[in-house]
Amino acid sequence: MSTEHGPADAAVVIQVGVRDLLPRDLSACAWSGSATHLRYVERELARAAVGEVDYLAVTTPVDLPVAIGGIDYQVAEAAGTLWQLAVLPALQSCGLGTLLIRSAEQRIRDRGLRRAELAVEENNSRARALYERLGYTAYGRKPDAWDEEEPDGLIRRYRTMCVLMRKELCDPARP
């Protein structure tokens, strides 16, 4: 924004909500990854329909997803595993990732589980700092890999090393 006296900063505040990600949302989530990634998310929504995972969306007042992420209940015993957490790049560092993670933790608690786990790429220091700020601690490392679609349409296998992190979730109803 600018005024007659030059540039000016302005803060815009909008309310957001958290709900289940729906198949109809996928076309509005191209910012979160390639077409291959979105096909994978679509398959995960089928798992959500049978209760194996939850897939959440932080949405704007016009119901557009600006942050998404899943919780898999089949990966670790007695825990929910957060994965595929993503925030629209233009809105990173605005608290949406924190809201998404806290909502995911509540979903885990609602299932009677008391631990959240996740894996973060070793070179993703920004995400790791967020997780640490939210109370996650590292407990190990493991390699990971997935298919990625290149701009030319070719699929390549992406390989990385991840830090494993966990957080014990307290029951807010108990002191």
pLDDT digits (tens, 9 = 90+) for 117-134: 999 999 999 999 999 999
Q: What pLDDT is attached to residue 172?
A: 58
pLDDT in tens, 57-108: 999 999 999 999 999 999 999 999 999 999 999 999 999 999 999 999 999 9
Ramachandran angles phi, psi of 92, nearest 5°: -65, 150
Neighbours of 33 (CB within 10 A): 17
Q: What pLDDT is attached to residue 145?
A: 87
Q: What pLDDT is attached to residue 170?
A: 82
Neighbours of 120 (CB within 10 A): 23
Please state the pTM of the whole predicted model: 0.88
Residues 6+ apart with CB under 8 A from 140: 163, 164
